[in-house]
Amino acid sequence: MKKCWFDYKTVIVSGASSGIGKGLVIKLVKDHGCNVIGIARNEQRLMGLKEELGTLGYKFSYYTFDVSLKEKWVEFAKTLEQEGIQPDILINNAGILPKFDRFENYTLEEVDKAMQINFYSCVYSMNELMPIIMRSENAGIVNVASSAALCSLAGTSVYSASKAALKSFTDAVREEHRDKCYFGLVCPGFTKTDIFRNQSESTDKAQKAMDMVSSDCDKMVDWIINGMWKKKEDMIFGVDAYLMDIGNKLCGTLCSNVASKVMKISGLGMFKSIFE
């Protein structure tokens, strides 16, 4: 395999216990010989991932904590320093998708939780880890936002806001450190992972509809790894994400309007409360 700038580097991946994060860990360890430090709350799943890596399991270590707690990132950074670990790359991937709903149906606690996990966790991690990562000659920070950051649809006010905040934040910090660190921003479209577990309807019809518009998780992971390899700054992956990006650039709010109408016409239960 051709040499890649992050081969054998030390990479921190948040949200490593499932979906895209888990896929990234497997690829980074198996295809690039990286030492990966995973972060998530579910220890059982992290242990399972270590086992799944078999003889390469020694290349994966993990810490279990809630990424929305600033003090945990402070502790984590201290531990890295004490143990003499020099991370090269940070991938802020942990995130949640609140139930699709109208804005007024969310409690303020739900809004706060989404902002804390999807946005502030990255502010905290970058605040603590950027000075350490910047010491590496191959420094990189990759933040996983969403196509929802590019075009807001009905029912996604809170999620879109949290991911748009992450996008703007990343774009600005990149310019502040352009020559010292690679900053990637990933905006995946719908991807087949467990992130939809909290949506109200998971009937066969809803599942089929979601499957039709969603990218395979392995494919998404490949796109992200290839994007990082080329040091791409904007990584918009999946046909739906691409259409949302182009649609928003060309037609502005008309794109949000048309896509939201499609959600309404679909009649899917998970979008029902939005349009009632």
Ligand X SMILES: NC(=O)c1ccc[n+]([C@@H]2O[C@H](COP(=O)([O-])OP(=O)(O)OC[C@H]3O[C@@H](n4cnc5c(N)ncnc54)[C@H](OP(=O)(O)O)[C@@H]3O)[C@@H](O)[C@H]2O)c1
Q: Which residues bind ligand X (CB under 6 A)?
A: 15-21, 40-42, 45, 66-68, 93-97, 117, 144, 146, 188, 190-191, 193-195
Region for 267 from its dihedrals, namely left if φ exceeds 0, alpha if ψ lies in -120 to 50, beta otherwise: left
Closest separation between CB of residue 204 and ligand X, Å?
Answer: 19
Closest separation between CB of residue 3 and ligand X, Å?
Answer: 28
Q: Which secondary-structure segment (H or E) carries 12?
A: strand 10-14
**What are the beta bridge partners of residue 182?**
140
Query: Treating both helix axes as pointing N-terminal to C-terminal, what angle do 70-82 and 121-133 enclose, rounded to 10 degrees?
Result: 20
What is the spatial distance between Cα 121 and Cα 148, in angstroms, rounded to a whole number?
Answer: 18
Closest separation between CB of residue 194 and ligand X, Å?
Answer: 4
- The distance in angstroms from the start CA to the end CA of the chain is 54
Q: Which residues have C-beta within 8 Å of that of residue 208, sequence separation ≥ 6? A: none
Q: Would you say 193 or 260 has its CB closer to ligand X?
A: 193
Closest separation between CB of residue 209 and ligand X, Å?
Answer: 13
Q: Which residues have C-beta within 8 Å of that of residue 204, sequence separation ≥ 6? A: none
Q: Which residues have C-beta within 8 Å of that of residue 73, sequence separation ≥ 6? A: 67, 121, 124, 125, 127, 128, 129
Closest separation between CB of residue 139 and ligand X, Å?
Answer: 21
Q: Would you say 97 or 133 has its CB closer to ligand X?
A: 97
Closest separation between CB of residue 241 and ligand X, Å?
Answer: 8
Q: Would you say 17 or 152 has its CB closer to ligand X?
A: 17
Query: Treating both helix axes as pointing N-terminal to C-terminal, what angle do 121-133 and 157-176 enclose, rounded to 10 degrees?
Result: 20
